[in-house]
Structure 1
Amino acid sequence: MEKNDRLFLLDGNSLLHRAFYALPKTLQTSEGEYTNAVFGFTKMLLRLIEEEDPDALAVAFDLAAPTFRHKEYEEYKAQRKKTPDELSPQFDLIKEVLTAFKIPVLQLEGYEGDDIIGTLAQAGAQEGYQVTITTGDRDALQLVTEDIEIMYTKRGITNIVKYDLDKVREDYELEPKKLIDMKGLMGDKSDNIPGVDGIGEKTSTKLLHQFDSLEEVLDNIDQVSGKKRKERLREQGDRARMSKKLATIKLDVPIDYDLEEFTLVEPDQDKLVEVFSKLEFNTLLKEFGGYDTLSFSEDFELITDYSQLDKLINNLKEEKQIGFKFNFAETKLYQQKANGLTIVYNDQEAYYIDMKELEAKEVVKALKDYFEDEEVKKLSLDSKQNLLYLKELGVEVEGLDFDPLLAGYLLRPSNKKQDLEDLLTEYLKVELSEVDDEVEQETQLVRSLFKLKEKLIKDLKDKGLLELFVDVELPLIPVLVELELNGIAVDEDELERLSSKLQEKLDSICTKVYELSGEEFNLNSPKQLGEILFEKLGLPVIKRTKTGYSTSASVLEELEGKHEIIPLVLEYRQYQKLKSTYVDPLADLINHQTDRIHTSFNQMVTATGRLSSTEPNLQNIPIRTEEGREIRKVFVAEEGKKLLAVDYSQVELRVLAHISQDENLIEAYINNEDIHTKTAAEVFGVEAENVTYEQRRRAKAINFGIAYGISPWGLAKDIDVSNKEAEDYIDQYFNRYPKVKEYMDEKIQDAKDQGYVKTILNRRRYLPEINSSNYHRRSFAERMAINTPIQGSAADIMKLAMLAASTTLKERGLESEILLQVHDELVFEVPTEELEEVQQIMKEKMESVIELDVPLIVDLNVGKNWRDMEEVE
């Protein structure tokens, strides 16, 4: 041991209890064995080792047998409830984990874990260790010295407070060793230690300031104030002495130990993998390398001539299920290029068609009938990309049956990225073998689809997600392929004009700013701007960063009114963002083969099930300002066609009415009332016809804020009122719509009990932070528990609408096409002669894709560009 080595002693019982109550009981093995406490304890242990870097570590546990304290006082801890049945078996499990980590497990009949820890802490300090005790039991604070600190788990297993001498003195106004005297006087309800009647923490602290110890108090009762208190101290002095004894942690437990044996060493890898496999801790298994290698036959047929291709096609005639994947060299739309195509059937028979040798169009043409045969079930990896390529070459794939990434997304919607290898390790506990040959690697990937399908389909079925997968998400892939290939036309002259107009505004603002500052500088440089504002102009410094003055939006907003340069800087930034983030990049995104922009729709990104888009991100195009709305003007219909925007009206609030079953909300929508005016009338206590513009604006913020689980503070900021006013508005809302509050409470409880919430189509969102001891994380999870069933159901409805729209246009043989999906809106490009028919069809189809207890309503708008549109009555 070297001087100042760190010895950590963990209170096993306390920490396992904390982990049990911190994590949802849904953490179980597939056989239903509870593992939440073990998982939480293990994660805490790993985090402690990583962050604190202990040199030595041991864990102490209580045993079930009575201790010397029970013999001293039969009622000791008698009031405590029996250990929950879900927790009891986890004590043996965590000891297995610790054994695999080669961390000593200490326990001794007749003594508590606290006594073992106290004895070892004192011994460790005497031998020169810096000792840290990790526990959720405040009794350990009596052990604090210059060499011993406490890491106290205040709530859960992550909210930790460190207690050294100063912290104990600050919180208790006593020396640590006097805390046992305090317990002698006031007792301890959690351990059923009686103390002296009528004496609490405040009185005991006062007495221990006056006298040095419990014994000194009892020796000088005449000097204690209060007649009743004196009587009780005289009558209950022995009980106080016993209470102190019960509260005192033993420092001389007769346990055999050698502190050198507590030195942290490498774990027993094989044992750890065995234990984590049994507990089904897949993330930890991966971390500790506990996966088998998935090996396939290295045999595959490389097809480099058309006679081999003909033979493959002949073999495929009898096959009703295949896996396929293109090996792309380029994935940019209308420039896609594939080096090869892998096809696997019978789980193992693998073929790689070399498309460097064979013409891609000829290969795809030869396989066209097979790809378009609905009876042949197709498994594909990243199927949208594969279908885009085939559609570009004139093939419309039918019979798409499985995509592991899409299945994985439904099972793990919060994962930032869906990855085949992650799915293999998580669900099959295997890893692909490493191969250098690119073709062999491709065949491995496609072969693995068959292995994954059985497992993932079973999991989807078990979780009630199979219908969503089969009826909504899989059929949506060809629809997204349509949208991406269709793209939308762009008026390049209008785009150039808008860019020039914004540049003129920026130049004008710069001139004014330079005049006010007295010099030219780079307005895009926060450093230079900060020097001008705070040094040259002498404005008050609000906030600093590591590199200088903060000139963030919140800082500039706080400075408004202090100098006329501030609103100009804010205006400059607004125009600069429009130009650099939205307008100028659009020019680079125009595909000059089609003269259109083809955004990419992401089906497997958001946790709520909504689609997102990139290149460009259409969801982010600002529409609240006039300048922002001008960007939409560049998106236009081709000659002889119009853009038709079909937008669900207040779909999230309608979903809220349906799932909360609030009679007032349902009635309002059935009667086609203006919901914001109605809410304003209800909340502000006025007649509907007397509602002002401002009241309706606030009511709108309340309606949508409630759907997102907004706090009084958040609402106050949104509508510029005090927190108290916002709180009153929310209370009034719940008084008028009581079942909305019931719904919110119910969803939070569902998330706590199950670990997830569901949409109307059973889409799940897991919320592990719902039981977090961190207030901000827990509050965020609670808001998501409220909002996800609403927003996710709106996403489900939009996807049903997209499927219905696409199917109907094809069935009717119409030329109209879906171009975009943004928020609650679908944008179509419609030949003028089809306009009336398509308007009628889309209104009818989109309003009837699902039956709710309130009507779904769509608003239709038509125009030559996406900004200048007229409402269709």
Structure 2
Amino acid sequence: MTDRDPDAPLLVLVDGSSYLYRAFHAMPDLRAVPGDPSSPPTGAIRGMINMLQALQKDYPSQHMAVVFDASGPTFREALYPSYKAHRAPMPDDLRAQIAPIHEVIGLLGLPVLVVPQVEADDVIGTLARTAADQGWRVIISSGDKDLSQLVDSRITIIDTMSGKVRDVAGVEAEFGVPPRLMVDYQTLVGDAIDNVPGVDKVGPKTAAKWLQTYGSLDGVVAHAHEIKGVAGENLRRALDWLPLGRQLLTIRTDCDLAGHVPGLPALDALRKREPDTAALQHFYQRYGFRSLARALGEATGPQAANGAASEAPAGETPAVPALRYTTVLDWPTFDAWLERLRAAPLVAFDTETTSLDAMAARLVGLSWSVAPGEAAYVPLAHDYPGAPAQLPLQAVLERLRPWLEDATAPKCGQHVKYDQHVLANHGITARGYVHDTLLQSYVLEVHKPHNLESLAERHLGRRGLGYEDLCGKGAAQIPFAQVALERATPYACEDAEMCLAVHQVLWPRLQAEPGLQRIYELEMAVSDVLLRMERHGVLIDADALRRQSQALGERIVALEAEAHALAGQPFNLGSPKQIAEIFFGKLGLPVIKKTATGAPSTDEEVLEKLAEDYPLPARILEHRSLSKLKSTYTDKLPAMVNPATGRVHTHYGQAVAVTGRLASNDPNLQNIPIRTPEGRRIREAFIAPPGWCIASADYSQIELRIMAHLSEDAALLRAFAEGQDVHRATAAEVFGLAPEQVSPEQRRYAKVINFGLIYGMSPYGLAKALGIDATAARNYIERYFERFAGVRAYMERTREQAKARGYVETVFGRRLVLPEINSPNGPRRAAAERAAINAPMQGTAADLIKMSMVAVQQAIDQGARRTRMILQVHDELVFEVPPEEIDWVRSEVPRLMAAVATLRVPLVAEVGVGANWEQAH
């Protein structure tokens, strides 16, 4: 930003109308009552508050104004009745938020200006010019390029959402003309948004070139007879219009603002006031902005903070109890607490450890809470200068062992699977965990964060100590064992005490909804199964992977050489810029699509399209695929073998996917590619112990079966009931043939249609998948819906239910929230509608595989069998099986999986057995 006097006073002017729309479209469809589409919309309000707070932080100033357009006509409509005639009406949900936005801006202490019959741009222009003429610096915050005509050495435009700065140099760099010529530039180009025509077929480049050549619009007009071609003809036809166009597009800087900004040209009326904190608290609570209310309370002192919590709706944010936290450093205190643990109806238990890696973490301390506000911390391994003597770790664990391993001693925690792992690392099999606040939140509010800090903020109105507050960040971070006990105790006690308090809020909500309670109980049972799977781990053939890695490396090097030969020069196969230069500059390959900046794209989709006809893109794709396999699996997996167990131990995240599917990470064993021989070869390295086998059991066409159940479509139900090949049956219906007449190609088409519709595939997507034109794809979809009318009815019914309720449900009651289902943003709303159709199927499939995990594990335990469940991948369960139990696995596992639920179509599970995972398929 260029300033004549950097010490001059600063005026910040906010284009409130620009902010309004940007906040509205940037934010999700928030409501005052979350999940209730009938409650007032709040997304734009929250977005405006966020944007204004960020602006004030980045550009602090004592003088500021937020300027909005007034309703009704301005002088421009009198000059040109068609001005802004094509603008769509303001969305109802945005209009409903205008008044509260004006209200909250005033409560924040910022002047709000709405001047009748004067556009916001003209108000901004007048104030900016007034301030600049008095030697002030002016910053205009807006995304509107039209305001660029105001820029000079004292006036700068900043776009907080894009980070763009339009000073004098910035305007010229962006548009090719200096700010003084921006009105001329806009007059030539026109403004389609405001329905102000320019010169037909004259775009930004031509306009800038003419102005650079002739110096101004007047110069262009004077030389209009010299300009050749169609553009010249169009210019000459527009000569009579240009003066009016220029008048419409010129921002006025001389508006009469008397009565709205008293005392002009002095700017005292634009001085910020102190925020009205009491009214702001009430406003934030009225619109459900709990974190804003909490932050305001913390900023204004404990009285306000406590007031915010106590004024919140009953049952949602209980008052903070008096806190009684104890550090346990001697045996009498420990023994007294142990008696309380044994007598308590429920104990929240937590561990402090050395690592986030559950299999490697060791204890630093233990905490628990048995009553509101009351908790204790037992430090076990704090080691820093001056640290007090602590009870011996092993002796503490031995005294706790009977209680920890007692299945009848009720316990709760936050992410209990992790704590069970940590205790298991010390030889303790923790039992009796009946509640997990992480999973309670996941079932009740799947679309929100589930960490304890977020849960405490949402449900208790409390903000606890953060780990980084105690230990620091990055390279300077210290281990928890080095944190002084006077700081460690409140942190550790808080974890247990807030966990118990969150449970007391969430558990009654689950009990009030039997469907969700059943899902929560399923998740708790699955957590126990996952703990056993994670601890057991997976046996891999590290030597086989190393050999694969070497072979992949040799092929990668060969592909690189082939690519260089095809390009006629060496280049970096990972550089989009170099690839583009070779593809489109040197080899002249066709441009499939362009990036946002107008450059030819070389993304995956483009490479796949070009690879159909050209060898170089095909080599690059193969090079990328093999490089990813090598780095992600063949190189990485051998290094992840746990030296203590000789196995790889993945972690399954339950509270991740909104559909209920499990997520595997560190390493991710669910995304091993199986469409290529190299990918399938990786699964050959997943082996059984000597003499044992690997068994794989998976559901057959589970999502299509769920579609048949949900839609009750007669043709689909009949196909599954009769055990038909459902894709062949679909093809027979769509193409009007007998099943035996369906060709392999027609069956393939039907398969793509079946699965595509589940995922909301459009005619364009189907055309692309099948390699046909969009009209043919649209005809196929129409024919499908004619033959399977129940599917169409299900989709329409589900969309309407989702819009009305804000969520959909699985067959078993899992709730899948769709925050964007009523979004005014078209693409977001369309994506939510597709999710509304697909989520019940994916979610029901997730429920079924989880029910199967529990049922099969129970059968294994009841029969005292040695078979071990080792992997869960989408609709598949993988086992290690001793030779004497192979027949049992072949017969009983598919029976158990098919029997976990009764749908309108039979569930079918199939089992394969082999020496490794690939052979078991």
User: TM-score w.r.t. structure 1 length?
Assistant: 0.76
Alignment partner, residue 57 of structure 1: 66
- Give me the whole-angstrom Cα distance separating, in 1, the residues matched to 2:588 and 2:197: 50
SS in 2 for 1:317: helix
- Give me the whole-angstrom Cα distance separating, in 1, the residues matched to 2:550 and 2:880: 28
Q: CA deviation at 1:741?
A: 1.5
The answer to whether the Cα contact below 8 Å between 2:32 and 2:287 also exists between their aligned partners in 1 is no
Residues 1:422 and 2:454 aligned together: yes
Residues 527 and 89 of structure 1: is their aligned pair in 2 closer, same or farther, counting only changes over 3 Å? closer
- Give me the whole-angstrom Cα distance separating, in 1, the residues matched to 2:28 and 2:446: 19
Q: CA deviation at 1:98?
A: 3.7
Residues 704 and 398 of structure 1: is their aligned pair in 2 closer, same or farther, counting only changes over 3 Å? same
SS in 2 for 1:699: helix
SS in 1 for 2:775: helix
Mean Cα displacement is larger for which, 295-304 or 167-176? 167-176
Residues 1:297 and 2:323 aligned together: yes
Q: CA deviation at 1:343?
A: 2.3
Residues 1:329 and 2:336 aligned together: no
Q: CA deviation at 1:41?
A: 3.6
- Give me the whole-angstrom Cα distance separating, in 2, the residues matched to 1:603 and 1:834: 30
SS in 2 for 1:644: strand
Deviations 1:220-268 (A, max 9, x none): xxxxxxxxxxxxxxxxxxxxxxxxxxxxxxx989956527434566643
Alignment partner, residue 397 of structure 1: 430
Deviations 1:132-164 (A, max 9, x none): 9999xxxxxxx999779xxxxxxxxxxxxx998
Q: CA deviation at 1:335?
A: 3.1
Alignment partner, residue 363 of structure 1: 396
Residues 1:271 and 2:279 aligned together: yes
Q: CA deviation at 1:720?
A: 1.5
Alignment of 1:624-703 (within 5 A): 624-703=675-754
SS in 2 for 1:591: coil
The answer to whether the Cα contact below 8 Å between 2:703 and 2:841 also exists between their aligned partners in 1 is yes
The answer to whether the Cα contact below 8 Å between 1:343 and 1:350 also exists between their aligned partners in 2 is yes
Residues 1:854 and 2:876 aligned together: no
Residues 832 and 298 of structure 1: is their aligned pair in 2 closer, same or farther, counting only changes over 3 Å? same
Unmatched 5+ residue regions in structure 1?
Answer: 64-82, 136-142, 149-161, 177-205, 214-250
Q: CA deviation at 1:625?
A: 1.2
Alignment partner, residue 354 of structure 1: 379
The answer to whether the Cα contact below 8 Å between 1:820 and 1:828 also exists between their aligned partners in 2 is yes
Alignment of 1:380-395 (within 5 A): 380-395=413-428
SS in 2 for 1:36: coil
Q: Which amino acid aligns with 1:701?
A: V
The answer to whether the Cα contact below 8 Å between 1:144 and 1:165 also exists between their aligned partners in 2 is no
Alignment of 1:362-511 (within 5 A): 362-415=395-448, 417-432=449-464, 437-461=487-511, 466-468=516-518, 470-511=520-561
The answer to whether the Cα contact below 8 Å between 2:29 and 2:42 also exists between their aligned partners in 1 is no
- Give me the whole-angstrom Cα distance separating, in 1, the residues matched to 2:28 and 2:376: 47
Q: Which amino acid aligns with 2:47?
A: K
- Give me the whole-angstrom Cα distance separating, in 2, the residues matched to 1:124 and 1:661: 65
SS in 2 for 1:343: strand
Residues 1:512 and 2:596 aligned together: no
Deviations 1:167-209 (A, max 9, x none): 8764677689xxxxxxxxxxxxxxxxxxxxxxxxxxxxx9xx9
Residues 1:570 and 2:621 aligned together: yes
Mean Cα displacement is larger for which, 539-548 or 492-501? 539-548
- Give me the whole-angstrom Cα distance separating, in 2, the residues matched to 1:317 and 1:8: 61
Residues 170 and 389 of structure 1: is their aligned pair in 2 closer, same or farther, counting only changes over 3 Å? closer
Q: CA deviation at 1:755?
A: 2.1
Alignment of 1:552-591 (within 5 A): 552-560=603-611, 564-591=615-642
Q: Which amino acid aligns with 1:428?
A: L
- Give me the whole-angstrom Cα distance separating, in 2, the residues matched to 1:10 and 1:520: 53
Q: CA deviation at 1:667?
A: 1.9
Unmatched 5+ residue regions in structure 2?
Answer: 1-6, 73-90, 133-137, 152-181, 199-236, 245-254, 300-304, 307-319, 382-389, 471-485
Residues 503 and 456 of structure 1: is their aligned pair in 2 closer, same or farther, counting only changes over 3 Å? same
Percent identity reads 32
Q: Larger strand proportion, structure 1 or 2?
A: 1
SS in 2 for 1:776: helix
User: TM-score w.r.t. structure 2 length?
Assistant: 0.72
Deviations 1:808-835 (A, max 9, x none): 2112211111111001001111111112
Alignment of 1:239-250 (within 5 A): none
Q: Which amino acid aligns with 2:522?
A: V
Q: CA deviation at 1:633?
A: 0.3
Q: CA deviation at 1:106?
A: 7.5
The answer to whether the Cα contact below 8 Å between 2:10 and 2:139 also exists between their aligned partners in 1 is no
Mean Cα displacement is larger for which, 254-263 or 703-712? 254-263
Alignment partner, residue 345 of structure 2: 320
Residues 800 and 266 of structure 1: is their aligned pair in 2 closer, same or farther, counting only changes over 3 Å? farther
Q: Which amino acid aligns with 1:738?
A: A
Q: CA deviation at 1:531?
A: 5.8
Deviations 1:324-379 (A, max 9, x none): 11111134354331111112223344333333355655533432332233332212
Q: Which amino acid aligns with 1:843?
A: P
- Give me the whole-angstrom Cα distance separating, in 2, the residues matched to 1:42 and 1:664: 48
SS in 1 for 2:715: helix
Mean Cα displacement is larger for which, 640-649 or 765-774? 765-774
2:649 alignment partner, one of 577, 580, 598 = 598
Residues 1:607 and 2:658 aligned together: yes
Q: CA deviation at 1:290?
A: 5.7
SS in 1 for 2:907: coil
SS in 2 for 1:596: coil
Q: Which amino acid aligns with 1:502?
A: L
Alignment of 1:13-412 (within 5 A): 27-28=32-33, 36-44=40-48, 46-47=50-51, 55-58=64-67, 96-104=103-111, 127=130, 170=192, 257-258=261-262, 260=267, 261-262=269-270, 267-285=275-293, 288=296, 292=305, 297=323, 299-303=325-329, 309-332=334-357, 334-356=359-381, 360-412=393-445
Q: CA deviation at 1:756?
A: 2.0
Residues 364 and 715 of structure 1: is their aligned pair in 2 closer, same or farther, counting only changes over 3 Å? farther
Residues 599 and 269 of structure 1: is their aligned pair in 2 closer, same or farther, counting only changes over 3 Å? same
- Give me the whole-angstrom Cα distance separating, in 2, the residues matched to 1:91 and 1:795: 42
The answer to whether the Cα contact below 8 Å between 2:31 and 2:41 also exists between their aligned partners in 1 is no
The answer to whether the Cα contact below 8 Å between 2:673 and 2:679 also exists between their aligned partners in 1 is yes
Deviations 1:639-674 (A, max 9, x none): 232111110111111111112222222222122111
Q: Which amino acid aligns with 2:282?
A: E
Residues 104 and 653 of structure 1: is their aligned pair in 2 closer, same or farther, counting only changes over 3 Å? same
The answer to whether the Cα contact below 8 Å between 2:820 and 2:829 also exists between their aligned partners in 1 is yes
Deviations 1:607-635 (A, max 9, x none): 11100101221221001112111111000
- Give me the whole-angstrom Cα distance separating, in 2, the residues matched to 1:441 and 1:125: 51
SS in 2 for 1:828: strand
- Give me the whole-angstrom Cα distance separating, in 2, the residues matched to 1:482 and 1:100: 55
Alignment partner, residue 193 of structure 1: none
Q: Which amino acid aligns with 2:367?
A: T
Alignment partner, residue 162 of structure 2: none
Mean Cα displacement is larger for which, 736-745 or 628-637? 736-745
Mean Cα displacement is larger for which, 398-407 or 512-521? 512-521
Number of aligned positions between the proteins: 761
Alignment partner, residue 227 of structure 1: none
Q: CA deviation at 1:539?
A: 5.4
Residues 376 and 556 of structure 1: is their aligned pair in 2 closer, same or farther, counting only changes over 3 Å? same
Q: CA deviation at 1:775?
A: 2.9
2:842 alignment partner, one of 781, 788, 791 = 791
